[in-house]
């Protein structure tokens, strides 16, 4: 039992390191394609960390949306961009010192929160959380749920509008 | 299951709008490729139906759907403002869209979708609903800003708005997450209750949470450190869309801000007051000073709308009933002045889209006296000249701020109003005094003219009966749970 | 740290290790003889053309991508519903029908507007 616990601890730290290291690669890599693939590990690591928090639904949606959806799109975007390997994409930082101001302010606020927050300990649910979420989504959070569908509809209408080149309009 | 928890009356107006979006899409599909008239008529009918529903269900909703939304008078008041703006831009729009060969059916469905989002921002009593409403509104606006893909500035406006807007929404969501982390709920009643009971309201993550919520909302209001997008976006977007964007989303952002911060304003205390004080002073001053030197009427109006956001912040800072009711009155008059001014701006623009010069207004006073008179009404209203609605809006908000003890800020605001006289009056001077620049005549577009006339009429009308409208606004504020 | 889902994490880890292991075996044991043909995107005999630098891809790719994301998100919403739909009331069923209906209307609109036609 103790050995298993130790192994689990090790596993946890493995995913922590993986997430952080790959996130660093995403930010500092000079090539977009490397960033994109490193992002895969970041997203995956985050999903694993959600599992450690007993948030199974969150982990599943992380894999579905981020790994399965957004990342795939990013990689397709990279593939469809001509000469991505040789293209010199400028990656500079402008107004470094001005940006420091909000960054320090934000860091200060968050650190302040870290030390003053009243941290709550939650006993993990006995069952997977998806069931409760399903109940909540269709009772308490019904209105946001339905608004979300209209939000997606707005995205769809917008995509339809933007995707039709001008000259194809109104010809026939 | 207990059906009374799903009281549809609370969300009747956005519900009609949502069904209306589907209707307009269907009509657009059925009416053939080149004919957009049916879609426009359907959209107008939907807006009128929604307005009728809004009036019929005025302040009858109450909190429902497990505390997610409240169909109170506050929501009804704002819904009416949004619907009025939507009606005007849908009525005035086709002429502009035809002129630029961008008359597509999506214009109507997107305007309706975004108004529906705004309705949820005004009705939401839960941060999640407000966030989703804001996102629905913004998503439609991003596309509307880029509605003219053939023009580079329109694409630029869309991309800029999308990038900065989603960044700001990110702040808002982060703020919501931190607030949730602190109080374990996204419910606004719980939020106020927590702040009222907490010894230090900013303990833990509340400080960061409230700051991020404020950033997310002030971005949509175009308040000064977060206003950089607004001149470029209003300038680049198709002008009918600028008219819509400068009016309705700003009202929606203030609606959401009042929903979130009106009740707990007092418990937020001194840091909150100081931040808002600085934001308001900065916004008024930067907005007005930048507007002074604009050659393009669209950029001038954009900076003027930044300045007005600053005046409106006074009402939030005041935190009293008059301040909140004043904001409602102010917005109700401001949207008509802004929609009217932007619409006149594109009506008289004869140099082609993208080249909006104040010189376009030359001689308008003699060639189209009625149009020039209405433009004068908007300009005088935006200055806040007494018999017009703009004056009373400012009066109420400033009075509320004085009552709350912000005398110096009101002095700054009044000085700023004095500065603003210069650039608003310049438009009138050009209309009535500048020599003819041999520009061709302004087209006569009955529907658009009617929309402008309606705006002017409202500006005058609200100035004639300010007291009774303010009473309605007061009742609306009082009806918030 | 809860250990309720650690078996799932172990499964994830072993899947990752298996993939990494197979790639490593291929890299270390496989013969490496480079020739120009191997560097081409398609090794099927058709000579690959170098795309011009300013090549633009049809915008339909974008529509497909957006549709994919939208329905991906929809699936995430359907997943918790699917777990409990037997216990839920009629109201919940109507709600989910509206949710799907709205998105289907959007899809119908997109199809009818012809943005998915590959001409």
Residue-wise pLDDT for B192-230, tens only, equals 888 888 778 888 888 889 999 999 999 999 998 899 999
Which residue of chain A is at minimal alpha-carbon distance from B105? A161
pLDDT at B10 over 90: no
Determine the structural domain holding residue C36 and report its residue range. Answer: 6-112
Q: Counting beta carbons within 10 angstroms of the beta carbon of residue C78, is it exposed (0 to 12), middle (13 to 18) or buried (19 or more)?
A: middle
Q: Residue C87 sits in a domain of what CATH number?
A: 1.20.58.1610
Q: Which helix (H) or strand (E) holds B114?
A: helix B106-123
Tokens, residue C21: 């292991």
Clarify whether residues A77 and A147 are in a common domain: no
Cα–Cα dist A99/A51, whole Å = 35
CB-based contact A140 B150, cutoff 8 Å: no
pLDDT value for A170: 42
pLDDT value for B480: 86
Determine the structural domain holding residue A131 and report its residue range. Answer: 127-165
pLDDT value for C44: 67
Of A65, A76, A150, the CB nearest to C102: A150
Residue-wise pLDDT for A88-118, tens only, equals 666 667 788 888 888 898 899 888 888 887 7
**Average per-residue pLDDT in chain B?**
89
Banded pLDDT at B396 (limits 50, 70, 90): very high
Q: Counting beta carbons within 10 angstroms of the beta carbon of residue A75, is it exposed (0 to 12), middle (13 to 18) or buried (19 or more)?
A: middle
Is residue B455 in some structural domain? yes
- Average pLDDT, stretch A122-147? 82
Residue-wise pLDDT for B18-38, tens only, equals 999 999 999 998 887 778 889
**Best C8, C49, C98, C99 residue to mutate vs chain A (most A CBs within 10 Å):** C99
Is residue A108 in some structural domain? no
On whether the CB atoms of residues B250 and B306 are closer than 8 A, the answer is: no
pLDDT at B246 over 50: yes
pLDDT value for B479: 87
pLDDT value for B386: 85
C65 close contact with A: CB closer than 8 A: yes
pLDDT value for A155: 93
Picking from A60, A89, A118, the residue at the C-terminal end of a domain is A89
Helix axes A71-80, A32-52, angle to 10 degrees: 170
Which residue of chain A is at minimal alpha-carbon distance from C76? A61
Distance of residue A15 Cα from the nearest chain B Cα, in angstroms: 23
CB-based contact A109 B211, cutoff 8 Å: yes
pTM value is 0.91
- Average pLDDT, stretch C97-102? 92
Is residue B381 in some structural domain? yes
Determine the structural domain holding residue B202 and report its residue range. Answer: 7-478
pLDDT above 70 coverage of chain B, percent: 97
Residue-wise pLDDT for B265-293, tens only, equals 888 888 888 999 999 999 999 999 999 98
Distance of residue C101 Cα from the nearest chain A Cα, in angstroms: 9
pLDDT value for B310: 93
Counted domains in chain B: 1
* DSSP of A120-160: PP-PPPSS-THHHHHHHHTTTTHHHHHHHHHHHHHHHHHHH
Is residue A104 in some structural domain? no
Counted domains in chain A: 2
pLDDT at A7 over 50: yes
Is residue C61 in some structural domain? yes
- Average pLDDT, stretch B313-320? 90
pLDDT value for C1: 46
Picking from A64, A89, A114, the residue at the C-terminal end of a domain is A89
Counted domains in chain C: 1
**Best A108, A113, A146, A164 residue to mutate vs chain B (most B CBs within 10 Å):** A113
Banded pLDDT at A171 (limits 50, 70, 90): very low
Please state which of the ranges B174-183, B391-400, C38-47 shows the lowest mean pLDDT: C38-47
On whether the CB atoms of residues A130 and C80 are closer than 8 A, the answer is: yes
Is residue B2 in some structural domain? no
- Average pLDDT, stretch B237-266? 92
> Between B and C, how many residue pairs show a Cβ–Cβ distance under 8 A?
14
Q: Which is higher by pLDDT, B108 or A51?
A: B108
* DSSP of B241-304: HHHHHHHHHHHHHHHHHHHHHTTTHHHHHHHHHHHHHHHHHHHHHHHHHHHHT-SSHHHHHHHH
What is the number of other CB atoms lying within 10 angstroms of the CB of residue A161? 22
pLDDT value for B47: 95
On whether the CB atoms of residues A50 and A67 are closer than 8 A, the answer is: no
Match 């009742």 to its residue by tokens.
B475
Q: Which of B181, B185, B208, B210 is nearest to A118 (CA)?
A: B181
Match 């970041």 to its residue by tokens.
A42
CB-based contact B6 C91, cutoff 8 Å: yes
Residues from chain A that touch C7, judged by Cβ atoms under 8 A, are none
Is residue A83 in some structural domain? yes
Cα–Cα dist B139/B123, whole Å = 19
Q: Which is higher by pLDDT, B398 or C34?
A: B398
- Category of C70 on φ-ψ map: left (φ > 0), alpha (ψ -120 to 50) or beta: alpha
Is residue B88 in some structural domain? yes
Clarify whether residues A85 and A131 are in a common domain: no
Q: Residue A2 sits in a domain of what CATH number?
A: 1.20.120.1200
Is residue C12 in some structural domain? yes
Is residue B281 in some structural domain? yes
- Average pLDDT, stretch A145-152? 93
Is residue B130 in some structural domain? yes
Picking from A89, A115, A138, the residue at the C-terminal end of a domain is A89
Q: Which is higher by pLDDT, B469 or A55?
A: B469
Is residue A33 in some structural domain? yes
pLDDT value for B22: 94
- Average pLDDT, stretch B450-460? 93
Banded pLDDT at A129 (limits 50, 70, 90): confident
pLDDT at A153 over 80: yes
């Amino acid at each position: 039992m103790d050995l298993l616990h130790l192994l689990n601890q090790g596993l946890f730290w493995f995913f922590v390191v993986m997430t952080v290291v790959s996130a660093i690669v995403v930010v500092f890599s000079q090539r977009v394609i490397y960033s994109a693939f490193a992002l895969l590990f970041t997203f995956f690591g985050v999903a694993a960390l959600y599992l450690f928090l007993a948030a199974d639904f969150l982990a599943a949606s992380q894999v579905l949306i981020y790994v399965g959806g957004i990342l795939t799109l990013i990689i397709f975007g990279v593939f469809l961009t001509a000469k991505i390997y040789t293209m010199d994409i400028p990656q500079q930082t402008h107004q470094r010192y001005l940006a420091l101001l909000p960054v320090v302010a934000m860091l200060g606020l968050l650190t302040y929160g870290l030390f003053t927050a009243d941290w709550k300990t939650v006993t993990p649910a006995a069952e997977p959380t998806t069931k409760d979420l399903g109940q909540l989504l269709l009772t308490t959070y019904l209105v946001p749920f339905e608004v979300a569908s209209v939000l997606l509809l707005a995205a769809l209408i917008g995509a339809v509008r933007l995707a039709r080149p001008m000259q194809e309009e109104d010809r026939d | 299951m207990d059906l009374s928890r799903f009281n549809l009356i609370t969300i009747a107006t956005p519900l009609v709008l949502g069904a209306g979006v589907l209707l307009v899409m269907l009509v657009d599909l059925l009416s053939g490729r080149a004919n957009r008239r049916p879609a426009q008529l359907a959209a107008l009918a939907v807006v009128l139906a929604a307005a009728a529903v809004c009036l019929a269900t005025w302040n009858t909703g109450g909190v429902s759907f497990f505390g997610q939304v409240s169909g109170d008078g506050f929501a009804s008041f704002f819904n009416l403002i949004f619907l009025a703006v939507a009606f005007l831009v849908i009525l005035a729009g086709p002429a502009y869209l035809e002129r630029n060969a961008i008359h597509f059916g999506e214009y109507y469905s997107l305007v309706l979708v975004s108004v529906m989002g705004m309705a949820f921002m005004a009705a939401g009593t839960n941060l999640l609903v407000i966030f989703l409403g804001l996102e629905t509104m913004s998503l439609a606006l991003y596309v509307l800003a880029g509605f003219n893909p053939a023009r580079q500035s329109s694409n630029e406006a869309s991309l800029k708005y999308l990038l900065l807007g989603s960044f700001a929404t990110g702040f808002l969501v982060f703020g919501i997450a931190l607030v949730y982390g602190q109080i374990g709920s996204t419910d606004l009643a719980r939020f106020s209750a927590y702040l009222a009971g907490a010894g230090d309201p900013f303990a833990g993550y509340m400080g960061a949470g409230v700051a991020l919520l404020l950033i997310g909302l002030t971005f949509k209001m175009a308040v000064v450190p977060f206003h950089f997008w607004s001149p470029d976006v209003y300038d680049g977007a198709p002008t009918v869309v600028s008219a819509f964007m400068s009016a309705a989303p700003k009202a929606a952002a203030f609606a959401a801000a009042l929903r979130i911060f009106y009740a707990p304003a007092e418990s937020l205390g001194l840091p909150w007051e100081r931040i808002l004080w600085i934001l308001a002073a900065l916004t008024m001053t930067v907005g007005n000073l930048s507007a002074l030197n604009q050659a393009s009427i669209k950029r001038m109006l954009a900076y003027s709308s930044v300045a007005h956001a600053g005046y409106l912040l006074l009402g939030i800072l005041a935190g009293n009933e008059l301040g909140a009711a004043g904001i409602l009155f102010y917005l109700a008059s401001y949207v008509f002045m802004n929609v009217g001014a932007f619409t006149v701006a594109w009506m008289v623009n004869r140099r082609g889209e993208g080249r909006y010069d104040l010189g376009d207004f030359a001689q308008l006073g003699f060639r189209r006296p009625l149009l020039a008179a209405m433009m004068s009404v908007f300009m005088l209203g935006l200055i806040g000249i007494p018999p017009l609605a703009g004056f009373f809006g400012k009066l109420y908000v400033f009075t509320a701020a004085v009552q709350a003890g912000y005398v110096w800020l009101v002095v700054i605001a009044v000085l700023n109003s004095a500065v603003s006289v210069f650039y608003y009056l310049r438009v009138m001077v050009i209309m009535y005094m500048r020599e003819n620049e041999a520009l061709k005549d302004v087209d006569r577009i009955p529907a658009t003219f009617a929309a402008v006339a309606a705006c002017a009429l409202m500006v005058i009308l609200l100035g004639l009966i300010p007291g009774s409208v303010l009473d309605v606004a007061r009742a609306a504020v009082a009806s918030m749970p | 740290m809860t250990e309720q889902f650690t078996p799932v994490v172990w499964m994830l880890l072993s899947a990752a290790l298996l993939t990494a292991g197979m790639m490593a075996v291929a890299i270390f044991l496989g013969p490496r003889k480079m020739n120009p043909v191997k560097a081409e995107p398609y090794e099927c005999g058709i000579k690959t053309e170098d795309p011009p630098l300013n090549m633009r891809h049809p915008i339909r790719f974008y529509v497909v991508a957006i549709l994919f994301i939208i329905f991906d998100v929809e699936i995430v919403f359907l997943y918790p519903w699917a777990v409990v739909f037997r216990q839920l009331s009629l109201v919940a069923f109507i709600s989910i029908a509206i949710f799907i209906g709205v998105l289907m209307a959007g899809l119908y609109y997109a199809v009818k507007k012809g943005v998915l036609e590959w001409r």
